[in-house]
Structures are given as C-alpha cells and as structure tokens.
Amino acid sequence: MKTALNFLVAARQCEIGELEQLQRTSALVDLLSRLIHALQKERGLSNVFLASAGARGGPARLAQMAECDRMAAAARDGFELVDMQPGGAGLTGHPGHGARLFSRIAHVLQCLDALPALRERVASRTLSPEAATALYIDLVAGLLAVVFEAADSAPEPGISRLLVALFNFMQGKEFAGQERATGVAAFGAGVSDALRQQHWLHLIASQERCFQVFAEFAPPHSLALWQESSAADATLAVIERLRRVGCTATAGAPLSMEMAEPWFDSCSQRMDALQTVEARLTAELQQQCQHRIADARAALQTLLQAPQALATTPVSATLALGELQPPAARLGPQLDRSVMDLVQDQSQRLQAMQAELETVRATLTERKLLERAKGLLMARRQLSEGEAHKLLRQTAMNQNRRLADVAQAVLSMADLLPPALER
C-alpha cells in the first residue's frame, strides 16, 4: 500500500527531474546568448559595410560570419535536447509551454536557414542598412523569444528570478545593438532625419526600461559587476556626446560621416562589456541549477532514510522525549507524526515557492500584455512596432497610469476599434 512517505519521495523525484530539465534549458540559454552576441556583431559590421558602400568592414564581417556559423551549429545541437514527443515538456518540464516553445524554435531555425541568402544580399549591397538591420532583428528577436519561454515556465523561484533578470538584460543589450545600427545609418547618411531620431530616442528609453527590470531581479554579484563596468566604461561619455549630436540635430541638418566610425567603435566596446555581464549571468544560472539539484537530492536521501532512522532510535532518546511507552509500541505513531511534519514542511515550501513565482511572473505577464497591445495597434492603426510602443508609453504618461494598465485597456477595447483600420 502506498503511503504518504511514498508520495513525498515521488514529489522530490519529480522536483529533481524538473530541475534537471531546467539545467538543460540553462545550457541552451548560454548557447543562445553567445549566438545572439555573435549575430549582433555581424549585424553591426554589415551596417558599416552597407553604409560605407562596401568601403569598410568587409574583412571583419567575413570573419564574424564564420564565428556566427560556429555558434549557430552549437545552438542547433542544443535544440536537439528538446523533448518533441506529444505531451512532452519541451525544455522546461511544463507541457503547456511546448506549443509556444516549438513555434519559437521553428521560427529561429527558419531564420538561420535564410541567413546565407541575407548575407549574399549584404555582400552584393542590394539591401539598405535599415532593411538588413530589420532582418537581423527578426532573427535575434526569435532567439530572445526562446529565452523568454524558459523564463516564463521555470518552476523554481530563484532560478525564475535569474532568468527574468537575464532575459531583460539580453533584451536591453539587443536594444543597444539596434541603437548602434541606427547611429551608423544616421551618421553614414550624412544628414539628420526626424523619423530616425524618434526611433533612436525610443531605443534609448527601451534600454533603460530593460536594465531597470534587470536591476530589480538580478543577483547581487551580477548587479555589482554591471554597475562597476558601467562606472568604469569611458566609452559611455563618447556615446552620450554622439547621442546628443545625432538626436538633437535639426531635421535635414548635415551630420559628419566621420562620426560613424567612433560611434560604432564606442558602441561595440559597450556591447562587449555588456556581454561580460551576460556571461556572468548565464554562468550563475547554471550554478544555481546545480546547487538546487544537489539540495533536492540531499532532501530525497533524507526521506529515503527516514524509516530506518526512526527504526533505530535508541530507547533513551525516546524516553528523553517523555515517551513512557516502549519504542516498539510507539514506533508507528512516531513515524506517522514524522511523516506529517514532512508533509507540512513540503506544503509550506511549495506555497512559498508559488507565491514567489507569482511575483516574478507578474513582470513577464506585463510584457505579454504589452506585446499583445502593440500587435493590436500595429494591425488596427497600421503602426510600426516603435510607433505602437511610443503611443502606449505616451498614453501612460499623459494619464499617469502604469504601462501594463494602459496595455490591458487597449486589449479590452479591441472590439470597439473600427474595422476599417484593420489591415
């Protein structure tokens, strides 16, 4: 007959299985982080190549393409670890996330398959810098979406917090990479453009928002590393100066094309510094998984040894606790009480974990609301993603409301938007 202790053991075994899945997820996130950084470098060099009409960045771009191919091969190997069986748990141990995860990975693989054609178009200079950037952004966004699924489904609160911090840091770094491309295009064009300036300012604000969320959820060591690297980064002064030049110039005013190179170099140094922090986060993620697995296995051993420990309890120990009956007569109830204590401890631990997970995932839920609201505005009002986000943010500021509340209100009014505005 199965006892309460049997089910407690089974619960611990399930927990270990989920943590082991999460460890594999963490290893894949590390691979995706490296691939994203490599693609961001390739995107930046492609921008330099296109903006200079092929005069600059050519050899460096080719070398970076080879590095990207190595990282992409490693990521493809990582995708082989995904459980694709019907009813499987994908990477995370939660079957409900499988469909979204598989769709994200399918999109990534499709974009990776299309990467050689994109590179050929860059090499032949048949793409504008903006068009090339948009295609690279789509690929990076797909990779980040896989990381988001991992963060959204992690069953352990501490690891979930770290994944939320990591995802927002990676997203902030991606906005920094897009800003690098925007600045290269702006200075490379040699003339100020109002729409490009608005997009530039949007990217700056988006970075700040992501890094704020990162700071809220980041572990102390990683947060300190980021703060120290930011304080010691001499390139930030150069970036801020060139930001003012590019973002405040009157529309149609000339911009020095000579500024493109120092802008690209300074932004690239900043991206490398951000990657150091990102690598620290991914390493800490894997360490936490290892520690949680070790703790869970130790707890399992304690459960497995509980009956033996009780069976070998000395008589003196029993009497010291005020037990007047002989141990043989009290062994069953004593075991029952011990199991009851274990059940209560397990229940309290799971309740605490659930409460912390709900707090962590509130941030992810807000992002989902924001993305859905942006998608609705893009479809109904034919706005770009940047325009949709700017509209939501401006509305939140004007009404003194949280951005998530404004996004929810937009979604609630979806049926009231005029059908004529649909695509």
| pLDDT tens-digit map of 82-93 | 776 654 444 444
Under 8 Å between Cβ of 129 and 181? yes
Helical axes 4-51 vs 98-123, angle rounded to 10°: 20
User: Would the pLDDT of 327 be above 50?
Assistant: no
Alpha carbons within 13 A on the beta-carbon side of 231: 6
Q: For 168-198, how does the pLDDT look when each residue is reduced to its tens digit (9 = 90+)?
A: 899 999 999 999 989 988 888 888 888 888 8
Q: What is the pLDDT of residue 291?
A: 86
Name the 3-class secondary structure at 83: strand
In sequence order, what are the beta bridge partners of 90? 83
User: Would the pLDDT of 319 be above 90?
Assistant: no
CA 197 → CA 42, 93, 136, 166, 204, distances in Å? 23, 44, 21, 28, 11
d(CA 254, CA 190) in angstroms, rounded, equals 6
Structurally, at CATH architecture level, domain 354-421 sits in Orthogonal Bundle (1.10)
Token output for 63: 């070398």
What's the mean pLDDT in 160-169? 86
Under 8 Å between Cβ of 61 and 112? no
Band (345; pLDDT cuts 50, 70, 90): low
Where is mean pLDDT largest: 242-251, 323-332, 392-401?
242-251
DSSP states along 152-206:
HH-SSHHHHHHHHHHHHHHHHHHHHHHHHHHHHHHHHHTB--HHHHHHHHHHHHH
Band (323; pLDDT cuts 50, 70, 90): very low
Q: Which of 34, 44, 37, 38 is nearest to 64 (CA)?
A: 38
Band (326; pLDDT cuts 50, 70, 90): very low
Q: What is the pLDDT of residue 376?
A: 77
19-28, 105-114, 300-309, 343-352 — which is least confidently predicted? 343-352
d(CA 64, CA 39) in angstroms, rounded, equals 8
Terminal Cα distance for the chain, rounded: 62
DSSP state of 415: G
Q: What is the pLDDT of residue 416?
A: 54
Those residues whose C-beta lies under 8 Å from the C-beta of residue 331, and which sit 6 or more positions away, are 310, 311
What's the mean pLDDT in 26-45? 92
d(CA 220, CA 159) in angstroms, rounded, equals 14
Q: For 267-287, how does the pLDDT look when each residue is reduced to its tens digit (9 = 90+)?
A: 999 999 999 999 999 988 888
Q: What is the pLDDT of residue 338?
A: 55
d(CA 79, CA 77) in angstroms, rounded, equals 5
Q: Rounded mean pLDDT of the chain?
A: 78
21 burial class (0-12, 13-18, 19+ CB within 10 angstroms)? buried
Domain ranges of the chain: 4-292, 354-421
What's the mean pLDDT in 226-243? 86
Q: What is the pLDDT of residue 346?
A: 53
Q: What is the pLDDT of residue 285?
A: 86
What's the mean pLDDT in 345-366? 60
Q: What is the pLDDT of residue 222?
A: 85
29-38, 285-294, 396-405 — which is least confidently predicted? 396-405
The amino acid sitting at 170 is M
d(CA 408, CA 415) in angstroms, rounded, equals 13
What's the mean pLDDT in 338-365? 58
Q: What is the pLDDT of residue 92?
A: 46
Q: What is the pLDDT of residue 25?
A: 81
User: Would the pLDDT of 336 be above 60?
Assistant: no
Q: What is the pLDDT of residue 109?
A: 93
Q: Which of 191, 154, 173, 188 is nearest to 57 (CA)?
A: 188
Q: For 54-111, how does the pLDDT look when each residue is reduced to its tens digit (9 = 90+)?
A: 888 899 999 999 999 999 999 999 988 777 665 444 444 444 456 777 888 898 999 9
Q: What is the pLDDT of residue 75?
A: 94
* Exposure class string for 74-113: b at 16+ Cβ within 10 A, else e: ebeebbeebbeeeeebbbbbbeebbebbeebbebbeebbe
What's the mean pLDDT in 108-135? 93
Q: Which of 373, 44, 387 is nearest to 201 (CA)?
A: 387
d(CA 33, CA 75) in angstroms, rounded, equals 10
User: Would the pLDDT of 235 be above 80?
Assistant: yes
